[in-house]
Amino acid sequence: MNTNQNFSDSLNKLEWPSIYPFKFIVPIAQLDEVLIHFQLQETTIRLSKNGNYASVSATPFLLNPEKVFEVYNQVSQIKGLISL
């Protein structure tokens, strides 16, 4: 079984709709590109020691597992982003 299938299976075991936690590391220059995906959501931002990167944690309320994949697909286009 591939990684996406395993992830999909684990998401399908959760109750939906649900709050789903996301965490990313992103270069400061691309921070706004991440935040646009979590408008009006609870979001925590922590800057790296040298201020070059930010850790972004968000906990949006999502209707189904497909929405989780939508968010990951959208943010995967952001240069330098690391999904945790």
Stretch 73-80: mean pLDDT:
97
| CATH code of 33's domain | 3.30.70.260
Binning pLDDT at 50, 70 and 90, where does residue 40 land? confident
CA angle 3, 1, 70 (to 5 degrees): 40
CA angle 36, 44, 52 (to 5 degrees): 80
| The pair of three-digit structure tokens given for residue 37, joined into one six-digit string | 């995906």
Q: Residue 54 above 60 pLDDT?
A: yes
Query: Which residues, in sequence order, are bridge partners of residue 59?
Result: none
| The pair of three-digit structure tokens given for residue 65, joined into one six-digit string | 């597992």
Q: Residue 25 above 60 pLDDT?
A: yes
Q: Does a structural domain hold residue 2? A: no
Residue 47 C-beta-side C-alpha neighbours within 13 Å:
6
35: containing domain: 17-83
| Number of independent structural domains in the chain | 1
